[in-house]
Structure 1
Amino acid sequence: MTDSTEMIAGVPQGRLRAMATREAARFARMRPLSRAALDAGAAHYLDRVPMHWMKDWPNPVPMVVARAKGARLVDLDGNRVDDFCLGDTGSMFGHSPRPVAKAIRKQARRGLTYMLPTKAAMQAGALLSDRFGEFQWQIATTATDANRFALRVARAVTGRRKVLVFNGCYHGTVADAMVELDQGRTVTRPGLVGQVTDLTETAVAAEFNDLDSVRKALEAGDVAAILTEPVMTNSCMVLPAEGFHAGLRRLATEFGALLIIDETHTISSGLGGYTRVHGLDPDIFVVGKCVAGGMPTAVWGLRPAVAQAFQRYDAGRAAGHSGMGTTLSANPMQFACLKATLSKVMTEDNYAHMERGAARLHAGLAEAVARHRAPWHVVRVGARVEFICAPGPLRNGTEAKAAHIHEVEATVHAALLNRGCLIAPFHNMMLVSPATGDDQIDRLVAAFDAVLAELFDPSET
């Protein structure tokens, strides 16, 4: 095997690229029917995919899925894959949980959408408060929409224009969150399609785990809300430092800003999300993705005092469009799935299973990293596990960006998939679902160990 003297994340560049070339060829050989299906039908889509994120998978062509159940996928070529991506959290509780599938079949006979509430809507509202805390709820279709609407409320209630977000954050395609720090100064992120406005007029960035930078941003007095995840995700994962969230709460109160907690990814943390598990106290709470078992649904809730303040504002505003809500949001299918998920799927027993499995996965991956002396680390929050191709732990978004090494991540991802294990294409994220078995976890650990052996100890392979 040819090695290059240049090292990438501790791996000789030549060795890494040889693996990438071989794994791409192996993927193509294993999936002739997928390629044929794409050749026959993909030309009708822009850039040959129904949604451009599907190009983020590091394969010669996307894997075309035939069916999924529990924590497994089967593609058109009959390849069975242990699924640890789970729709990037959208199917965190497994594909088609039985109570949700049953609710879909039942509601489908009663109609799909009518822009009016149902009895299930009333029941789902009570379940949301029982699971996540005392909030006044609204239903959206995606967490992007929910975050966008929450920010409108925050600006309405405070009369301020800016949102504080953290460098390297992700809150869906919310424009206000698309800023970053450049030598300590907030700038619009590069690469945004069709961006024509200066986002620094409505947003300011601070560093995660740096309360001094938060205070400095809030001192201007123009911040309506702090929008944050409890743990930075969709970057290389960054855990909060001790006291960070308590400090955020104090600073938000001191400077009159609302605290918005986005749990869309960190719902993996446990029953009620990171907020309930760790006793956080947001003014506005957002969660999406898997909250309705895979049916496109998001929820956002206001603490009663914030809800009352918004109602006073709403009563006095001019008549016209609010800029919030979409026609298909809060449809009866969403409520049927919300009710089924919250009452029968999002349970203490299921979270306990997920926690045990994720601990097993974390330990196995960390042992492999140590055995092969890779300069990497493994991190976990609840059912969510990531290996990061850099030393750790990471402290903020700047460090997370530096630790994201696409060439290494893409190669390892492709090698794992060819060994029957699918992880997320974004930053090596893996989820353990209630349907994930120890045998699947052990296969992933064994595949990861084999890949690391080839990258770091080729004489052993």
Structure 2
Amino acid sequence: MTTLIAGIETDHLRHFATREATRFATSRPNTQHALNMGEGAFLAGVPMHWMRDWPMPFPLLVESAKGARITDVDGFGLDDFCLGDTGSLFGHSPEPVAKAVARQAKSGLTYMLPSLDALEAGRLLTKRFGNFRWQIATTASDANRCAIRVARAVTGRPKILVFNGCYHGTVEDVMVTLEGDKTVTRAGMVGQVADPAAHAVVVEFNDLPALQAALAEGDVAAVLAEPVMTNCCMVLPDPNFWRTVRTACDAAGTLLIMDETHTVSSGLGGWAKGNGLRADMFVIGKSIAGGVACAAWGLAPDLARRFADYDAGRVPGHSGMGTTLSGNPLQFAALRANLGEVMTRKSYDHMEKLAARLEAGLTTAINAVRAPWHVVRVGARVEFICAPGPLRNGTEAMEAHCPAVERAVHLALVNRGCLIAPFHNMMLISPATKKRQVDRLIAAFSEVLDSLFS
């Protein structure tokens, strides 16, 4: 009896993956030589351990990146649809950002004081994302940690509610999952001593009764969520889901924190602003400074006043928030340039038009081979999912995740000149992405599927 994975014969998948891995390895001698010479200084041979998680036999070494193209040290050019997993959502080295960074480099890189660029960046953050009182961090993980502290401080409550399968960076407080109907700490965390499940609660995305029951306990300081789940096999909210969540939070005295680090791709200003969802706190990171490490978290004005009262009355001492290099002038120069000159309506119109073209092309390719897969899109973000859809929650998303098939497809696309995100099947369109690049990706994807399903 033939065994199938996502509609593909397992033996056929194995032979396909082996062939693609060999093709990649034999075509990149310069990369292999350089890695052999230089990787010994790093733990696991790479600067960040997850750089080993790409589906290639060994990591690519990038020589240069510009716009929506990457060139590796063996001279191969790739159309980049990963874009630093959103970090370079607006393209590699957008010209206004590159100029701002070069200009600021001549005037100091950090000095623990604000600048005129900082003041203008604050105005632009409000213009783009809404009326919040902002603070700057270096990563969205740091921004989420600060938001959680503020939520607990002003409400006097210990717990944070998240959705099963969520992703908010490396925030230990929400490294939890569902086991049956019980909140437990995620398995596999390195060196974890404290139990995050003691101060968190997990429910499934789109499960309003479970959320309302959890809030009714009266101990939840905040709901921390992405408006669209993006960690594994993208999950869209049901109609009126967020309107009901907002009402339930208000009734329970619980704050709502929107983490739009990924969903900034959904449209100018993010998903919440575009859909009229009122957040008490807003977190944004990765792409806002055009590729320079930067994040921001903001409090709605009434919450900012509540926090100011709390802060004025607390015992003096370290707040547990903030890092020395956050809020540096390099961040603000890049942030001002990106928010003001790159992250524009014109850019998003271009991004969404090409993303719709990509969505349609991938869907056509899937239908042509009758694969039991589907495609989902939010703004400039497109994903193919190796299972029928739509998906409604984190459990369904994890069950739809098909690592063996995804790794083979990813590697085969690299061999055909297209780079997509390594941790899921995500593709992003930037303002620099060209129609011909989208068409090349569609053609490559179609060729790969024809090989897998033949």
**TM-score, normalised with respect to structure 2:** 0.99
The counterpart of 1:176, out of the listed 173, 179, 190, is 173
Q: Does 1:185 align with 2:182?
A: yes
Deviation, 1:284, is 0.1
CA distance in 1, matches of 2:213, 2:16: 47
CA distance in 2, matches of 1:31, 1:112: 37
Q: Does 1:217 align with 2:214?
A: yes
Q: Does 1:282 align with 2:284?
A: no
The counterpart of 1:263, out of the listed 257, 260, 263, is 260
CA distance in 2, matches of 1:361, 1:426: 20
Deviation larger for 66-75 or 274-283: 274-283
CA distance in 1, matches of 2:173, 2:248: 21
CA distance in 2, matches of 1:319, 1:113: 26
The counterpart of 1:50, out of the listed 47, 53, 62, is 47
Q: Equivalent residue for 2:384?
A: 387
Match runs of 1:295-334 below 5 Å: 295-334=292-331
Q: Does 1:412 align with 2:412?
A: no
Match runs of 1:7-26 below 5 Å: 7-26=4-23
Q: Equivalent residue for 2:60?
A: 63
Question: In the TM superposition, what whole-angstrom CA distance separates every residue of 1:74-132 from its partner, at most 9, and x where no partner exists?
Answer: 00000000000000000000000000000000000000000100001011111110111
Q: Does 1:349 align with 2:343?
A: no
CA distance in 2, matches of 1:87, 1:98: 17
Match runs of 1:30-429 below 5 Å: 30-429=27-426
SS of the residue 1:378 aligns to: strand
SS of the residue 2:298 aligns to: strand
CA distance in 2, matches of 1:164, 1:86: 30
CA distance in 1, matches of 2:308, 2:215: 25
CA distance in 1, matches of 2:49, 2:174: 20
Q: Equivalent residue for 1:445?
A: 442
Write the letter of the residue equivalent to 2:256: L
Deviation, 1:232, is 0.0
SS of the residue 1:300 aligns to: strand
CA distance in 2, matches of 1:53, 1:246: 36
CA distance in 2, matches of 1:34, 1:441: 27
CA distance in 2, matches of 1:71, 1:202: 42
Write the letter of the residue equivalent to 2:332: F
Q: Gaps (5+ residues) in structure 1? A: none
CA distance in 1, matches of 2:423, 2:58: 17
Identity of aligned residues (%): 63
Deviation, 1:50, is 0.7
Deviation, 1:141, is 0.2
Deviation, 1:426, is 1.4
CA distance in 1, matches of 2:64, 2:325: 26
SS of the residue 1:392 aligns to: coil
Deviation, 1:192, is 0.6
Write the letter of the residue equivalent to 1:195: Q
Q: Equivalent residue for 1:434?
A: 431
CA distance in 2, matches of 1:245, 1:218: 15
Write the letter of the residue equivalent to 2:315: A
Over aligned residue pairs, what C-alpha RMSD do you find? Answer: 0.7
CA distance in 1, matches of 2:358, 2:435: 9
Deviation, 1:277, is 1.0
SS of the residue 1:191 aligns to: coil
SS of the residue 1:292 aligns to: coil
SS of the residue 1:237 aligns to: coil
Q: Gaps (5+ residues) in structure 2? A: none
Write the letter of the residue equivalent to 2:121: A
CA distance in 2, matches of 1:336, 1:198: 40
Deviation, 1:5, is 1.4
SS of the residue 1:322 aligns to: coil
Moved over 4 A (4+): none
CA distance in 2, matches of 1:286, 1:197: 25
SS of the residue 2:288 aligns to: helix
Write the letter of the residue equivalent to 1:216: A
Deviation, 1:136, is 0.2
Question: In the TM superposition, what whole-angstrom CA distance separates every residue of 1:168-221 from its partner, at most 9, and x where no partner exists?
Answer: 000000012211111111111101111112211111001101111101111111
Question: In the TM superposition, what whole-angstrom CA distance separates every residue of 1:234-290 from its partner, at most 9, and x where no partner exists?
Answer: 211000100100011011101011000000000001100101111110000000000
CA distance in 2, matches of 1:429, 1:67: 22
